[in-house]
Structure formats: structure tokens, C-alpha cells
Structure 1
Amino acid sequence: MKQHGKTLLQEELGFSLIELLIYMTLLGILMAMVFSSFTPVMRTSSRQWRIAETKVETGVGLDLLRSDLEHAGFGLPWEFPVGVTPSPYSEPAAPTAPAAMNDFPNVPRAVTSEDASALSLNGSDYLAIKGLNVVRSNSSQKWGWLGRDIAHAVSIQSLSDDAFDDSGADADRVIVIRPQVSPGENRRLVLDGTNYFAKPTAAALAPFAPPETPRDPNGERYLLYGLDDSDPRRPFNRTDYYINNAGVPAQCAPGTGTLVKATLNHGDDNFFILPIVDCVADFQVVYYLDTNGDGGWDTRVDASGLNGLTAQQIRERVKSIRCYVLTHEGGVDATYTHPNANINVGQVDTDGVTLLAGAGRTFDLNASIGATWANYRWKVYSLAVTPRNLQ
């Protein structure tokens, strides 16, 4: 408050309307500059996050495929008793699965596949793997011995982390395999008539146990494998891999599907579908075979290369299995242009360009994906596996 003569004058403090307008204008310009630089950073960050997520999920999914290929043949019988077919024994046929995958009435083949399958998207390959532990159930992860104790009573010994479950409706069902019958006759499925499974109790396994000998408990012992917790429909477990076009995530390119692990159920012969890799355009399977018996591979064949081979020939000849998966990382990106519409999904020569014979195929993205194919970051994942349970 100031006094001027006899008049009191009041001094007002603050901003004028014009000053406020100037301030708000400058603030708006500054915020626009901040957001204009922040938005691309957020887009880049989101894109990189989606790419990283794709890599992690793909790695986990392919680890399942690798594990199943390594265990192909685990617990499979190599022989049935002469003139006897186990019962029950069924596998699904087309259109549920390729008829060529079925082995009835023969012993199961550890691995089979179909080239350019009508049941796999874009005419990619279809792979079937057989072995007890390719199904992730409590029963299928158990194994042990069946023999006799010092009193010649049936003796069950579990060699897995979990003991066999022998009680209740969900008790394990097990199969019994005799490791060696005579020279040249190995891993024969033990039957009670035509039946091949039982609950893991001494009473139930008595018809499957080795005969009494004076050497018990150090006499002959049979292999015991957990199969399922319901009455089985076949003396093995099976899981299939192919590209499914149902339930594809929205971020996937048109014309792509999901690589799935399809586990064959014993209860109803239907498949339980587990997605393992999203946004897959192609899936190729390649085998490396020993055809001259020297222990190393000498022949490379595509997914049809095992056609006509018996279970024994597959066990003896397959030395390595390679799988190739064509997918894209992240979602569509209008700022990105993929360099080539033709991608080699398989093994290439030392020049890095030429696809080797019998080692996959060249996939045409433009033909299968359409006009937006170039706006996706395409990548071929590969894995090479040496099966460890064929012999």
C-alpha cells in the first residue's frame, strides 16, 4: 500500500492475461516437441519388447520339440510275441492325422513324418514322435524293474524320482518289456494273452513277471514303464507336430499359423493341442541317415525319406534330425521392409544361398502371406537333434 498525498493507491501483483497466453503457448510448443520425440521412442521400445517376447516364447517352444526328438523311442517295444498282436491297439487316421503315421499291427516306429502334408498349413511337414515320455503326465515319467525277491515273490523297483502309483482309479498303467529274449531278439513286449498293461501291483503284474529261478533275486529282470493313468489304447505314447491354422493370435501375419504339440490321448483317441510357436509360416523336417552301416550319416532326406522303413531300420539308420521353423519376430511394422520374398527353410550350402538337396524348401512369402509380407521381420529357427533312445 502506497500513500500519495491523501490518496491511497493499491499495487496489484501477478500475471496479466497476455502473459498467461504467451506462457501457455510456449508450454504447448514445448510439450509438443517432447511428445514428438517421445512417441517414436515408445514405438521402438514396444517393437523391441515384442521381438524379445517372440524370441523367448519361440525358444521355450522349440525346447519342447528338442526334448521330444531326443526321447523318441524311449520305452518302445522292438518286438511283439510271434503271431500275437497286442490289444487294444488303435491310432487315429485321416482326416484327424495322416494315415501313414499309424503302425497297427506292427511295432511302433520312433519317428515318422509326412512331406507337404495336407494337415499342416501351407503344405509344410507333419511330424509324429513315439515314446513313453513324450507325454508330460505323471505316469509317463516313471520307469523301473520287475523281478522277484529272495522268496520268489513278484518285486517292483522304481528307478524314477516318483514311485509308481498303484491305488485308486487314477493309478498308473504300466507296460513290461523283456530286455533280451535270446541273441538277436530284444525288447519284446510281455503280454498276458493279448493284454499288455496292468496297474503296478504285485498281483496285477504276476502274469507279466519273469519266471521263478534259483538265482532270485539276482535272476532275470524286466523293464517296467509307466504309460498312462487310464486304460491305454496302444502300447506307447505319441505326440505330433504341425502348423495349425486355428486360434492364431491377432499380431500374426496373414497366412501364418501356430506350430503345435498335439498329444494323443488314450481315453478317446483325440489330440490335446498345445501351442508352442506362434506366427509360423513353414515347418520342415530333415533326416540324416546311415545307409552303409559305418556309424556316421551318409544320406540326407526330407520328411518323406523314412517312408517304407521299418521300426528297426529307423532305429539303425537315423543319426540326426533337423527341424526348421519360419516365423516372424514381433508384429507388422510399416517402417520395415524385409529384403527377400523367397526364404530357404532348411540347410544351405557354404555359399549361404543355395539350398542343399533334400534339406528343406524355398518358401515364397508373397504367394502365401500376401502383399504385407515385407512388413514383418522373418526369421528361420533351426535345431539339430541326435536321438538318444533309438538303440
Structure 2
Amino acid sequence: MRKNGYSLLEILITIFIVSLILSASYFTYISIFKEMKEESESVELQMEKIVGLELLRLDLEHAGYGIGKPLNVTDDYLIIESIADDHLIIRSTLNNTDNTTIGWVLCSNNEGEPPIESELEAPNENFVFVDSEGFIYGTVNNGLCPSNSVLVGFPYSPDATGCDGFCSEIEYYLSDSNLPAHCSQGTYNLLRKVNSAIGGNPILSCVADLKFTIDLDTDDDGVVDVIGMPIDNSIAPNDLRMQLKRINVYILMQEGGFNPDYNFTKYRSDTRGNYIEINGIKLYLPDTPNFRNYRWKAIKISVKPMAIIE
């Protein structure tokens, strides 16, 4: 007859089995937690990417919006300008993050009076007026029509620094300041700066490379004949206004966080470094030992400016 209780051997076997179960549970938990963390970082970057790219697209779409032609062509304004390969300035009376600059007004035979029609997102009394031929008539800061001519007015920010003070300058550029911890070394924040603001606001993080090009119709036949030209400011402002058909942006950015078990292989190499190519444009990966432990994606945005006054 067996006495009550367990033998030492039975207790040791039980402890061993329980330890195995706990170890398996721990490693399963760690694996699930790791996957959840990577998925959370990926989702966060995806949401940031959607919002940031849409703002960039809207700014490019409104390049030249509200900017009429000066009477002297030599005084024309550059609607887009490159400072470097990864630094672009977009000029427009409309700033998509300032609703007081969104809309238009119409004047006709009512000098000194409010416009006869208006479609404004928010109140604003600062307008630049353009005549029926697209030439700049002038600006007002009282909201009233400046003449009896037929004029279209575009609201602008009183803080505008471009076009002699009536169009905003929206800058996109890369900066490595305040980079999130989940970003790979050698990546940047894509910043958006408006007019004379101190610093810019990040719209995308973990960006490895950025390029801008333009497509032109140089012979005015309605067909693009120059594709992928760098924005090098070599085209006269008036020619750029007439010929510009598309603005292309190429972005190489990180997707998700660091994963020691992942090995990124979809890249090529040349004397400058490792790159991903899209439409003949080389976008370079960070020059760091662990860049392969991140997922990378090349993105192209191609936008037709919708409101250039020709």
C-alpha cells in the first residue's frame, strides 16, 4: 500500500515539465510581442506615410496657384525652385495647412466694393488680383475690389515671403534632427517649412533619399517631350510656367523597425553605394552596416499642377 505524498523523483519530474511549459510560453510570448511591436511600428509608419504624402501631393498640385503673370516677363516668378537635389521650394498663394488662403473671389464693375462672388474657406481680406488674360493687376488688404475690371482674386497669407509678398514659399527638405528612435541610422525626417517659420514640421520620418524631377512640353504640342529633367533652375520662369506638365517625387523610406532576422536584398550597388532604382532614378540606402535589417520601399509621386496661370 502506497503512503500519501509524492516521491522526490516525481516532484523533480513535475518541476521539469512545468519549466518546459513555462519556457515555451515565454518564448512564444516574446515572439508574439516582437511581431506585434514590428507590426505596430509598420502601421505607424504607414499612417504617417499616407498623411504626409497626401499633403506633399496637394502642395505640388497647387504649385503656381494664384500666381499671375507680371507685365514684364523678366520679373516673372519661379513657381518651383530647387536649392539642392533634396530641397524643393513650391510657390503658391494657397497653403494647404492654412484655410484662410483657400478659395477665390470675383470682381466685376464694382470698384471699392466687396466682390460680387466669393468662395472662401475662411475670412481673409488679403487678395492678389489677376485679370482675364492672366496678368497680375495688384493686391489689396481691405478685401475690396480695386477696379471696375473683371478680376479674380486669390487670398494669400500676410506672412507670405514669395512673389514680392503675396505667395507662400513651401519648402521640402531633409533633416537628421529629432529623428525617431525606430529609424535607421543614416535616414532623415522630411520637413515642410512655410515662409519664414523657424524650422519645419516633419511629414515623413525614416527617409533615406529624396529626388525631384519635372516633365515638360517644350514645343507646345500638348505632348510631353522632356521626361525626368532635374529641377536645376535652368529654365526661365515664364518658360517653366508654360511648359511644366508634371512634377515627380521619388522617395526611399524605411518600412517597419529593426529586425535582426530580416535580410533586405532588393538593391544594387555602384561606386557611390547601395541603391534602389525606379524609372532610372537611383535612390541610395544608408551607408550603415545594418541597413539590411530594415525593410525599404521606393515611392514615386507624379503630380500634374492643376492651376498654373498661363
Structures share fold, TM-score greater than 0.5: yes
Give the SS at the match of 1:154.
coil
Does 2:297 align with 1:344?
A: no
Q: TM-score, normalised by structure 2?
A: 0.85
Question: CA separation in 1, counterparts of 2:66 and 2:104?
Answer: 9
Amino acid corresponding to residue 167 of structure 2 in structure 1: F
Report the Cα distance in structure 2 between the residues aligned to 1:228 and 1:246, rounded to whole angstroms.
28
Letter in 2 for 1:314: L
1:70 is matched with 61
- Aligned mates of 1:230, 1:69 — CA distance in 2: 20
In structure 1, the residue matched to 2:103 is 142
Is 1:164–2:136 an aligned residue pair? no
Number of the residue aligned with 1:41? 32
SS of residue in 2 equivalent to 1:73: coil
2:140 matches 1:197:
yes
For the pair 1:377 / 2:295, whether they are aligned, the reply is yes
Residue 239 (structure 2) pairs with residue 239 (structure 1): no
Does 1:332 find its partner at 2:246? Answer: no
Unaligned runs of 5+ in 2: none
Q: How does 1:1-391 map to 2 (within 5 A)?
A: 18=8, 22-80=13-71, 106-114=75-83, 117=84, 124-149=85-110, 154-162=113-121, 164-165=123-124, 172-180=125-133, 186-190=134-138, 196-200=139-143, 202=144, 205=145, 208-210=146-148, 220-229=149-158, 234-264=165-195, 269-271=196-198, 273-305=200-232, 307-339=233-265, 340=267, 342-347=274-279, 355=280, 360-363=281-284, 365=285, 368-391=286-309
CA contact (8 A) 2:94 2:167 kept: no
Match of 1:160, SS?
Answer: strand
Distance 1:258 1:246 in 2: 7
| Greater mean deviation of Cα atoms: 295-304 or 223-232 | 223-232
Q: Which runs of 5 or more residues in structure 1 are unaligned? A: 1-12, 84-104, 118-123, 166-171, 181-185, 191-195, 211-219, 348-354
CA contact (8 A) 2:100 2:121 kept: no
Distance 1:162 1:289, change over 3 A: closer
2:109, 2:11 → 1: CA distance?
Answer: 97
Distance 1:75-1:17 versus aligned 2 partners, 3 A rule? farther
Distance of 2:11 and 2:40 partners within structure 1: 42
Whole-Å separation in 2 of the counterparts to 1:153 and 1:199? 10
Q: Identity of aligned pairs, percent?
A: 21
C-alpha RMSD over aligned residues: 2.7
In structure 2, the CA distance between the partners of 1:78 and 1:250, relative to structure 1 (3 Å rule), is same
1:222 CA displacement: 1.1
Q: Which amino acid aligns with 1:126?
A: H
Q: CA deviation at 1:323?
A: 0.6
Size of the aligned set, in residue pairs, is 298
Provide the rounded CA distance (Å) in 1 between the counterparts of 2:59 and 2:42. Answer: 26
Query: Are the aligned partners of 1:147 and 1:154 in contact in 2 as well (CA < 8 Å)?
Result: no
DSSP-derived class of the 2:25 partner: helix
Q: SS in structure 2 opposite 1:47?
A: helix
Deviations 1:354-377 (A, max 9, x none): x3xxxx3352x3xx4321121111
